[in-house]
Amino acid sequence: MTAFAISGITYFFGFLVLPIIFGFIIYLVKFKHTIDVIKSIPGPPAIPLVGHGHYFIGKSPHENLLQFHAFAKTYGRTYKIWLGPELNIMTNDVQDAEVILGTTRFNDKAQQYVTLDPWLREGLLISRARKWHLRRKALTPAFHFKILEQFVEIFDRQSRSLLENLHKEHRMQTSKGFDLYDWVNLSTLDTICESAMGVSVNAQTNADSEYVRAVKTIAMVLHKRMFDIIYRFNLTYRLTKLAREEKKALAVLHGFTEKVIIQRREELLKAQQQTEDQSTNADADVGSKRKMAFLDILLQSEIDGKPLSNLDIREEVDTFMFEGHDTTSSAITFCFYNLALNPECQRKCFEEVIQVLGKDKSKPVTFEDLNNLHYVELCIKETLRLFPSVPLLGRKITEECEINGKIIPAGTNIGISPLQLGRMEELFPEPNVFKPERFEAGFSSEKVSPYAYIPFSAGPRNCIGQKFAMLEIKTVLANVLRHYEVDYAGNKDEEPLLIAELILRTKDPLMFKIKPRVY
């Protein structure tokens, strides 16, 4: 080999390797303090620059979940995960959860929530600091029981549309059963649209509409961006086909919401321009016939003495749409799964439904009826312990701090898993057994912290719509159970493989069979 060739190879080697070495040195200098501070927090071996990303590359979402379970088993309740330069500390310590969730000190959402920005902007779910505080204060009255009571008629009507689709499925069902989630998901979409905006998108009768397709696209985008390294970072994501599909879907969703906002605002302005008596009648019309949709309340709300702009309202309506759709679908489907696997619990639910609602299947469900379904509520709570709709809660540490003896550097993402907390033996004896009775005395006791059971999060930033969700879930369960006996068509001896992304779901569809009740 000539000296010229050797020098060329040496030059190429230096050109390729030296920048990597130089970048690694800068990386170490920049993160030296962070690395030193978290030395006492255990974690798996990391690769320079990549961190622990190699544990997740090429893995399926279910395999990623199993990996987190393996980390927890090996490294304990609190461990660290580096995803490139992004530090994540996962904790399943109840005392940590209480410190992090129990005050407004750690109110900023984790970096992972950035995937929601294009859709929700600065809505209540991901807004920060003073903006979050003012929005939360302004929106809380919208979830007063007097307002929620008006939504029950929507819950009942849309769940009856669900029954019509289940009737069709029953006529065609085979031994393999059918995918209940798809129908439930369309039902909750109709429900949340009408509750949020006062309009119906008729998803249950037109599942292929432009709006429904856009909602499904956004859900798919959010799932993919959670763990896939190609989609995780904006620099690479913008170059993908998925990013273009998201842009088209957002144009549909934002355009629809904005159109409804403008229309409703014009209607309210016209009503206010009438005489005092006519204005009173118009307001009554808005409150009764239109059921005072979430949008109507926002249009009449003020922050710092000023009405909300169309963009402000769109952010909150879209947030309500996101938080009240797939989460509720997940909870309802897992409820039916648990009741199908536990016939005695299903029998008790059915008997309570008949006791409260009577034997007239056409009788509408009322707010009072739902509040009297105590055992049904226990079954919902137990389902959310085993299968929380939101399996991971995330916060971002904005200033270096100490949490129960652990120094946490600024910029760290903290992850708390309601899914793993709900399956801990020391918190819930026989954690994998469906036992609704464990919630009979409520959940406050000297032995168990209220931060052990957090399917709706906890503290000041808990889910503002949890009562709304419970009422909707109860309505669907009550109406379906008084018409059908539900059976699981899958393998009853093995729990389905779970995928824990923004919303908990199963790797394969949960298949059900139904049998009409005769009484």
- pLDDT for the residue numbered 73: 94
Inside any domain, residue 10: no
Residue 278 clears pLDDT 80, i.e. is over it: no
pLDDT-based confidence at residue 293 (cuts at 50, 70, 90): confident
Query: Residue 493's CB: how many other CB atoms inside 10 A?
Result: 6
Give the integer Cα–Cα distance in Å for 126 and 132.
Answer: 8
Binding residue ranges for heme = 463
- pLDDT for the residue numbered 56: 85
pLDDT-based confidence at residue 326 (cuts at 50, 70, 90): very high
pLDDT digits (tens, 9 = 90+) for 494-519: 999 999 878 999 999 999 999 999 98
Helical segments of 116-209, H only: 117-120, 129-139, 145-172, 180-197
Contacts of 487 (CB under 8 A, 6+ apart): 177, 340, 512, 513, 514, 515
Task: Summarize the confidence of residues 300-329 as an average pLDDT.
Answer: 94
pLDDT digits (tens, 9 = 90+) for 63-77: 989 999 999 999 999
- pLDDT for the residue numbered 17: 62
Residue 276 clears pLDDT 70, i.e. is over it: no
Inside any domain, residue 256: yes
- pLDDT for the residue numbered 279: 46
257-to-15, 200, 210 alpha-carbon distances in Å: 53, 12, 13
Residue 160 clears pLDDT 90, i.e. is over it: yes
Give the integer Cα–Cα distance in Å for 339 and 105.
Answer: 40
Contact between 153 and 364 under an 8 Å Cβ cutoff? The reply is yes
pLDDT digits (tens, 9 = 90+) for 36-57: 999 999 999 998 778 898 888 8
Binding residue ranges = 463
Task: Summarize the confidence of residues 337-352 as an average pLDDT.
Answer: 98
Q: Nearest Cα to 478, choosing from 179, 143, 160, 148? A: 160
Give the integer Cα–Cα distance in Å for 197 and 215.
Answer: 15
* Domain, as residue range, for 242: 17-273+291-516
Inside any domain, residue 356: yes
pLDDT digits (tens, 9 = 90+) for 231-264: 877 888 889 999 999 999 999 999 999 999 999 9
The amino acid that residue 286 corresponds to is V
- pLDDT for the residue numbered 23: 58
Residue 424 clears pLDDT 80, i.e. is over it: yes
Dihedral sign of CA atoms 226, 227, 228, 234 in order: positive
- pLDDT for the residue numbered 156: 98
Q: How many CA atoms lie within 13 A of 326 on its CB side?
A: 20
Give the integer Cα–Cα distance in Å for 335 and 332.
Answer: 5
Whether pTM exceeds 0.75: yes
Dihedral sign of CA atoms 468, 470, 471, 473 in order: positive
Helix (H) or strand (E) holding 490: none
Q: How many CA atoms lie within 13 A of 195 on its CB side?
A: 33
Task: Summarize the confidence of residues 485-489 as an average pLDDT.
Answer: 98
Q: What is the dihedral of CA 444, 449, 453, 459, to 10 degrees?
A: 90
Q: What is the dihedral of CA 316, 318, 319, 320, to 10 degrees?
A: 90
Inside any domain, residue 285: no
Mean pLDDT score across all residues of the chain: 89
Give the integer Cα–Cα distance in Å for 180 and 187.
Answer: 11
Inside any domain, residue 6: no
Q: How many CA atoms lie within 13 A of 23 on its CB side?
A: 10
Split into its structural domains, the chain has a count of 1
Inside any domain, residue 282: no
Residue 394 clears pLDDT 70, i.e. is over it: yes
Inside any domain, residue 200: yes
- pLDDT for the residue numbered 288: 38
Question: 58 or 144: which carries more pLDDT confidence?
Answer: 144
Q: Residue 199 burial (CB < 10 Å; 0-12/13-18/19+)?
A: middle
pLDDT-based confidence at residue 348 (cuts at 50, 70, 90): very high
The CATH number of whichever domain residue 106 belongs to comes to 1.10.630.10
pLDDT digits (tens, 9 = 90+) for 445-460: 556 789 999 999 999 9
DSSP percent split of the chain into helix, strand, coil, nearest 5: 60, 10, 30
- pLDDT for the residue numbered 415: 96
Task: Summarize the confidence of residues 6-28 as an average pLDDT.
Answer: 56
Inside any domain, residue 286: no
Q: Residue 472 burial (CB < 10 Å; 0-12/13-18/19+)?
A: buried
Give the integer Cα–Cα distance in Å for 106 and 487.
Answer: 43
